[in-house]
């Protein structure tokens, strides 16, 4: 016998499922982790945290579903894009790490504080192929980060298998690459519990001219199909990485 459905303490579902019917307004967000939205054009996942609200695609329909409204992807940062000065500071620190012998990666955390973006360089372990914050407590910069950035020192900007294993929460994930060259690289994606969507870097940052966005496409219409999921086991974080 199936008993009555239990609600959590805050009367929120961890994961919810909502149909966006024709003529309705988009339903209010009401889940504590994320929720799936089903529209005429596909299935999307929505999540909200301090400083960030996203709606990203997880399945695009080849035919429109009658009786439903279409859903538009969304990436909304509050209080707006991250200032150029913060990105330049991360690039400078990445250059210092990349010029070490051997060249090192470095990680950064950005969170909202009193209506402004704040950069934190956490205590971390570093090597040529990985970097990782040491502190993961509830008050740590890792837990509070809206945006998590790491460098690939002298290598290109891309998301590796180790990144897929490590980046399992909800935030913006960013990689800086070729940081010692005249044109450094940046690539960004939204991650909602291992569901990812690449987004243009200028949605997230005020970009300086010497940092090139290497995201394929670069516009929302081009990127609508650039979503994917990852089930890479976190244990891979300790495996060697081929570069």
Taking only Cα atoms into account, the Rg of the chain, rounded to an integer number of angstroms, comes to 19
The whole-number pLDDT of residue 4 equals 45
State residue 215's pLDDT score.
83
* pLDDT of 224: 58
Res 228: pLDDT: 73
- pLDDT computed for residue 236 by the predictor: 37
pLDDT at position 54 is 97
Give pLDDT, residue 217: 57
What averages of pLDDT result for each successive group of 10 residues across the chain (243 residues)? Answer: 47 86 92 93 94 93 94 94 98 97 97 94 95 93 96 93 88 97 95 92 95 74 65 43 32
Distance, CA of 142 to chain centre: 13
Indicate the pTM of the whole model.
0.86
CA distances from 80 to 66, 112, 173, 189, 222 (A): 35, 10, 16, 17, 23
Tell me what pLDDT residue 151 has.
97
- Residue 144 contacts by C-beta under 8 Å, 6 or more apart in sequence? 109, 111
**What's the confidence (pLDDT) of residue 232?**
52
């Amino acid at each position: 016998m199936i008993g009555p459905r239990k609600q959590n303490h805050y009367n929120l579902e961890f994961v919810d499922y909502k149909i966006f019917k024709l003529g309705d307004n988009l339903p209010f967000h009401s889940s504590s982790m994320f929720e799936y939205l089903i529209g005429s054009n596909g299935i999307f996942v929505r999540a909200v945290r301090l400083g960030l609200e996203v709606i990203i695609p997880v399945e695009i329909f080849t035919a429109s579903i009658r009786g439903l409204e279409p859903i538009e992807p969304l990436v909304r940062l509050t209080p707006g894009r991250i200032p150029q000065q913060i990105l330049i500071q991360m690039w400078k620190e990445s250059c210092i790490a990349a010029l070490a012998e051997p060249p090192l990666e470095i990680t950064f955390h950005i969170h909202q504080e009193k209506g402004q973006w704040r950069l934190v360089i956490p205590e971390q372990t570093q090597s040529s192929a990985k970097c990782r914050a040491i502190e993961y407590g509830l008050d740590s910069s890792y837990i509070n980060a809206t945006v998590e950035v790491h460098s690939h020192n002298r290598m290109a900007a891309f998301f590796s298998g180790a990144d897929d294993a490590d980046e399992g929460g909800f935030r913006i994930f960013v990689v800086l690459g070729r940081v010692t060259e005249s044109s450094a690289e940046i690539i960004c994606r939204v991650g909602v519990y291992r569901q990812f969507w690449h987004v243009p870097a200028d949605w997230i940052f005020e970009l300086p001219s010497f940092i090139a966005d290497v995201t394929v496409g670069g516009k929302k219409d081009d990127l609508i199909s650039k979503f994917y999921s990852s089930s890479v086991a976190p244990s891979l974080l300790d495996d060697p990485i081929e570069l």
